[in-house]
């Protein structure tokens, strides 16, 4: 410990812990666990617990993904913020849509770039119907179940009206949870004269000009944080710890194995999520 650190009358500069939440939520990538609660938990815990940060800033760039992982990550952030009395700011980069906006609502204030995309407060289920394709190629689908709903929404069988009705009920229930989360976090800030929960999106400039209440203003992280906490505020980023192998760009067996068909499908799904917002 240095002499300056030991002197009680020397005032330290405040610092803000920064956490980057980037990518589709709950979708793995080759060599990476993706944006999930399990992957982010150690980083979030360190950001709130090391020293006494003046605030925690979330750098968000996500088109959404798993509602469960969104809720788990946001819930962890809120629990620590409340326990330690630390304010949280969210800064939107390209997009904070769907689950990405769920994460943004974990903050006390949400800031965006004028061209950021925010909103998409809805739930979606997408897939393919391959029953006619396999039929044309002489392929038979053989499914045996114990339980009438076990083959629910099988993409290799014709779609059933009762399955679609059941799926819509599930999506509606998830949508209710999403709306409740946004309303509990944004409260009276939200516009009361319009429906913000249709899945529509806005740019940061539109969200502010139309007084939606989805964001608190237009700002970039460093200048805004220094405006709030002082020019001498230090910005301290927190990121996953990298192994020695990864620091030198090496791939070990486990990472090589991650590049399987399943991981490639996840990567394709992630690209489709980004593409919805032109990214």
Token pair recorded at residue 91:
């800064």
Q: Is 36 a catalytic residue?
A: no
Q: Write out pLDDT tens, residues 35-46.
A: 999 999 999 999
What number of CA atoms fall less than 13 Å from residue 52's CA on the CB side?
Answer: 5
Q: Write out pLDDT tens, residues 45-91.
A: 999 999 999 999 999 999 999 999 999 999 999 999 999 999 999 99
Q: Write out pLDDT tens, residues 142-188.
A: 777 777 677 777 777 777 788 788 888 888 999 999 999 999 999 99
What's the pLDDT band for 238 if we cut at 50, 70, 90? very high
Which pairing describes strands 117-119 and 201-203: parallel, antiparallel, or unpaired? antiparallel
State the pLDDT at residue 49.
96
SS3 assignment for the chain = CCHHHHCCCCCCCCEEEEEEEECCECCCECCECCECHHHHHHHHHHHHHCCCCCEEEEEEEECCECHHHHHHHHHHHHHHHHHHCCCEEEEEEEEEECHHHHHHCCCCEEEECCCCEEECCCCCCCCCCCHHHHHHCCCCCCCCCCCCCCCCCCCCCCCCHHHHHHHHHHHHHHHHHHHHHHHHHHHHHCCCCCCCCCCCEEEHHHHHHCCCCCCCEECCHHHHHHHHHCCCCEEEEECCCCCHHHHCCCCCHHHHHHCCHHHHHHHHHHHHHHHCCCC
Tell me which of 12, 150, 169, 211 is the catalytic residue: 150
Q: Write out pLDDT tens, residues 196-211.
A: 999 999 999 999 999 9
Tell me which of 36, 62, 66, 98 is the catalytic residue: 98
State the pLDDT at residue 28.
67
pLDDT > 70? residue 5: no
Burial annotation 172-207 (CB, 10 A radius, 16+ → b, else e): eebbeebeebbeebbeeebeeeeebbeeebbbbebb
Q: Write out pLDDT tens, residues 106-134.
A: 999 999 999 999 999 988 877 777 777 87
Q: Is 150 a catalytic residue?
A: yes
């Amino acid at each position: 410990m240095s002499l300056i650190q030991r002197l009680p009358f020397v005032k330290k500069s405040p610092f803000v812990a920064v956490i980057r939440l980037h990518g589709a939520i709950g979708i793995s990538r080759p060599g990476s666990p993706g944006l999930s609660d399990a992957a982010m938990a150690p980083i979030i815990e360190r950001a709130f617990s090391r020293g006494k940060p003046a605030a925690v800033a979330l750098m968000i760039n996500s088109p959404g993904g798993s509602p469960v992982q969104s809720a788990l990550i946001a819930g962890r952030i809120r629990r620590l913020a409340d326990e330690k009395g630390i304010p949280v700011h969210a800064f939107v980069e390209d997009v904070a849509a769907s689950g990405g906006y769920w994460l943004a609502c974990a903050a006390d204030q949400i800031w965006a770039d004028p061209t950021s995309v925010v909103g998409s407060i809805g739930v979606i289920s997408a897939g393919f119907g391959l029953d006619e394709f396999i039929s044309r190629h002489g392929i038979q689908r053989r499914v045996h179940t114990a339980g009438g709903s076990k083959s629910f929404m099988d993409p290799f069988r014709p779609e059933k009206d009762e399955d679609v009705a059941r799926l819509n009920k599930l999506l509606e229930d998830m949508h209710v949870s999403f709306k409740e989360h946004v309303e509990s976090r944004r409260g009276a800030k939200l516009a009361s004269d319009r429906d913000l929960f249709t899945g529509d999106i806005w740019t940061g400039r539109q969200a502010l000009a139309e007084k939606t209440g989805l964001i608190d203003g237009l700002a970039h992280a460093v200048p805004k944080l220094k405006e709030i906490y002082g020019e001498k505020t230090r910005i301290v980023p927190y990121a996953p710890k990298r192994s020695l192998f990864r620091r030198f760009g090496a791939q070990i067996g486990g990472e090589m194995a991650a590049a399987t068909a399943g991981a490639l499908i996840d990567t394709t799904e992630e690209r489709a999520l980004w593409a919805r917002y032109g990214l």
